[in-house]
Amino acid sequence: MSRVVALTGGIGSGKSTVARMLEKLGATVIDADAIVHELQEPGTPLVQELAEAFGPEIVGKDGALKREELGRIVFGNEAARERINAIVHPKVGAEFARRLVAAKAARVPLIVLDIPLLFEGRKAGSRSAASMQTESVIVVWAPRATQLARQVERDDRPLDDAQARIDAQIPIDEKRDQADHVIDNSGSVEETERQVAELYEALVGVS
């Protein structure tokens, strides 16, 4: 029987890095962000629905969604964010649930539900069927200063923009305090790999 856990963190905490490490060890990772990107491929019904809701300027001539443009529209605008969530979340949730059922049927030892805004969704009163099936929550933690530095260096993002994006999420320390398992990703890659390997072994019962 597969064990199911949720994986979350904060922007710049290194959650995606930890997800890849778990996948390499044998876990099946179901990535909410990846599903969103797939559903927003050029010409998909979701892109058309978003264009109807937020204007044709969010779609390029090639039919691709201009994610940065859409982000500017909804960032800091609660009404717009609620509207986009009402459009996107049901479709993502349905695909997420489909993949979870398939992974369970395959009897993989560990299923990791990669949900970036898990705690934010819970705070807003949204508990997806997928997230409710998890046995425990893994939080990938890094200090705020590291979160800022990674955004500025990796994404070439202005410091004030990076700060605003962090402030839009629940503080990473608060998430850490609510976690069942914590991966401290403030050190070296090797140290993170060691923690991930130990956690994987504990979760799947590898001796």
pLDDT tens digits along 109-145: 999 999 988 888 776 555 554 555 789 999 999 999 9
Pick the range with the lowest mean pLDDT from 49-58, 64-73, 143-152, 178-187.
64-73
Quick one: which H or E segment has residue 48? helix 45-54
What is the distance between the alpha carbons of residues 56 and 53, in angstroms, rounded to a whole number?
9
The identity of residue 155, as a single letter, is D
User: In 106-188, which ranges are continuous DSSP H helix?
Assistant: 118-123, 129-132, 144-155, 159-167, 172-178
DSSP track, 187-201: S-HHHHHHHHHHHHH
What is the distance between the alpha carbons of residues 62 and 49, in angstroms, rounded to a whole number?
16
> What does each C-alpha distance from 195 to 37, 99, 122, 199 come to in angstroms?
29, 27, 27, 6
pLDDT tens digits along 83-97: 998 899 889 889 999
**Which pLDDT score is estimated for 207?**
38
Residues 197 and 186 sit within 8 Å (Cβ to Cβ): no
Predicted confidence (pLDDT) at residue 163 exceeds the cutoff of 60: yes
Write the DSSP symbol of residue 27: P
What is the distance between the alpha carbons of residues 91 and 87, in angstroms, rounded to a whole number?
8
Q: How many helices (H) and strands (E) does the chain have?
A: 11, 5
* Share above pLDDT 90 across residues of the chain, in percent, rounded to a whole number: 68
**Which pLDDT score is estimated for 17?**
96
**Which pLDDT score is estimated for 121?**
76
**Which pLDDT score is estimated for 206?**
56
Q: Which two tokens stand for residue 135?
A: 């046995």
Spell out the domains of the chain, with CATH numbers in brackets: 1-27+108-207 (3.40.50.300), 36-107 (3.40.50.300)
